[in-house]
Amino acid sequence: MPRFSDWLRTRIGGPKRQQDGPDVFAGLRARALGLDIGSIQTPDGEPWKGAAVAMMEIGLPTGVASFLAIADGTVSMYTSVGGGVIGAGEHAAVRGAAEHFRIVAADARSHLQTTTEFPVPTPGEVRFHVRTGDDARTGAASEQALRTGRQPLSELYAAGQDLITEIRLGSHDGGTG
């Protein structure tokens, strides 16, 4: 079974793109959040720590930015208006931040609601989606409240911000994207 990032590269990197930004974004989200957890293969076959899939989405006035970490080492960032970074998990620092994000996400499940749907955040809102085994959860808070450090999801937000930083640094140091 190919890694999610391999599938993503074939979808984004192909020469014939017939979908626009919002359609591509919706497809990527659906594929990532609907991933068959049993199909995840970790590097070296080691068991993963934390959530199998963790996503942080930030609602902006012009769209949504999504940050994804999957236990197979896939780390991606993409936006609802088009563009993004795929293959960020190729960098050790990004992989480390992604694993930390997934561990914190799994620990934050008690602050998230069980779900079968994964809504996008509204402007000013940050939404988290976490999948562990058969469990799927989601939750949101205002970005302003999360920044105070006093909101129950603030630690998860901080881990997500660390992941964003590493993705940005990795993409400027010859990363893909």
| Residue 85: per-residue pLDDT | 84
Nearest to 55 by CA among 172, 159, 165, 177: 159
What average pLDDT score do residues 100-114 get? 97
pLDDT at 14 over 60: no
What average pLDDT score do residues 58-77 get? 93
Q: Mean pLDDT score of the chain, rounded to an integer?
A: 84
- Given CA atoms 90, 66, 167, 140 in this order, what sign does their dihedral have? negative
What average pLDDT score do residues 40-47 get? 73
Q: Which residues fall within 8 angstroms of residue 136, CB to CB, at 6 or more apart?
A: 33, 114, 115, 116, 118, 129, 130
Roughly what angle, to the nearest 10 degrees, separates helices 92-107 and 154-172? 170
Roughly what angle, to the nearest 10 degrees, separates helices 21-33 and 4-13? 170
Please report which confidence band the pLDDT of residue 13 belongs to, taking 50, 70 and 90 as the band edges.
Answer: very low
Q: What Cα–Cα distance (Å) separates residue 41 from each residue in 1, 56, 74, 174?
A: 8, 22, 11, 26
E strand map for the chain: 53-60, 63-70, 75-79, 84-85, 113-114, 125-132, 135-142
Q: What CA–CA distance (Å, rounded) separates 114 from 149?
A: 24
pLDDT at 167 over 80: yes
Which tokens belong to 157? 């937000």
Nearest to 101 by CA among 162, 145, 35, 33: 162
pLDDT at 44 over 80: no
What average pLDDT score do residues 48-66 get? 92
pLDDT at 32 over 70: yes
Q: Report yes or no: 157 and 101 within 8 Å, Cβ to Cβ.
A: no
| Residue 137: per-residue pLDDT | 97
Please report which confidence band the pLDDT of residue 89 belongs to, taking 50, 70 and 90 as the band edges.
Answer: confident
**DSSP-derived pairing of the beta strands 84-85 and 75-79:** antiparallel
| Residue 61: per-residue pLDDT | 92
Decide which of 105 and 86 is more confident: 105
